[in-house]
């Protein structure tokens, strides 16, 4: 998405890029509607708001933490960071899209490697304490990036290096959360 967005903005501009992306989404919708067999299932009219929550407190706390974690990442990466890199640092659309696309790939590699990385550090299976420490490490790292941006260090260097380290810690945190959600839900 970042690669395509950066390329489209560079080559055809904002409005045309929106039309191309809209056409791609419309095409995908038509293909899905024509190729889908069966139905999506039926919703229950009796479902209550309380059914959205687990009976297990640990699952509810972890779900709230995941919402905050991913919402913060998405606001920062999908809105704030691209606008900052483009308007304040003068990066081209293509450079912003390439950096963020590469970051997502790097993040995915680290997340896929998280079980062996955590085991190698002697942590074994993640626990609630693992997720807590990783969350504090992520908060400290984010604060460190903010402090470094206020110093005389080149902002682009701070962001590139800081976000690569952030990607490692975030991916470990996300993997720990994914493991714990499955562990706490007890197969339900």
CA angle 45/47/53 to nearest 5° reads: 160
Distances (CA, A) of 103 to 36, 69, 170: 33, 17, 12
> In terms of residues, how long is the chain?
188
**CA 52 distance to own-chain centroid:** 22
pLDDT at 47: 66
pLDDT at 12: 95
Instruction: Return the DSSP state at 46.
Output: T
**CA 4 distance to own-chain centroid:** 18
Outline where the chain has alpha helix (H).
2-12, 14-35, 57-74, 81-87, 93-120, 128-149, 155-185
Is residue 171 a contact partner of residue 111, using CB atoms and an 8 Å limit? yes
Residue 75 has which token pair? 């606001």
pLDDT at 78: 80
Q: What is the pLDDT of residues 131-185, one digit of tens each?
A: 888 889 988 998 999 899 899 888 888 988 888 898 888 888 888 888 888 887 7
Q: What is the pLDDT of residues 91-106, one digit of tens each?
A: 999 999 999 999 889 9
Q: What is the pLDDT of residues 8-37, one digit of tens each?
A: 999 999 999 999 999 999 999 999 999 988
- Separation between Cα atoms, residue 109 and residue 146, nearest integer Å: 26
Q: What is the pLDDT of residues 55-114, one digit of tens each?
A: 778 888 888 888 888 887 787 778 888 888 899 889 999 999 999 999 889 989 998 988
Instruction: Return the DSSP state at 79.
Output: I
The residue whose two tokens read 């993040």 is 107
């Amino acid at each position: 998405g970042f690669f395509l967005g950066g390329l489209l903005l560079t080559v055809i501009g904002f409005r045309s890029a929106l039309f191309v992306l809209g056409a791609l989404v419309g095409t995908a919708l038509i293909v899905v509607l024509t190729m889908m067999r069966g139905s999506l299932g039926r919703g229950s009219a009796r479902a209550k708001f309380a059914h959205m929550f687990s009976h297990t407190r640990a699952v509810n706390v972890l779900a709230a933490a995941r919402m905050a974690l991913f919402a913060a990442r998405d606001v920062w990466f999908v809105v704030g960071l691209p606008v900052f890199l483009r308007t304040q640092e003068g990066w081209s659309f293509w450079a912003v899209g390439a950096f963020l696309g590469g970051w997502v790939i790097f993040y995915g590699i680290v997340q896929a490697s998280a079980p062996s990385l955590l085991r190698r550090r002697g942590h074994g299976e993640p626990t609630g304490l693992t997720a807590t420490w990783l969350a504090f490490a992520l908060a400290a790292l984010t604060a460190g990036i903010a402090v470094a941006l206020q110093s005389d260090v080149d902002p682009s260097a701070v962001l590139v290096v800081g976000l690569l380290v952030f990607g490692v810690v975030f991916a470990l945190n996300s993997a720990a959360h994914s493991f714990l959600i499955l562990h706490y839900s007890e197969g339900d």
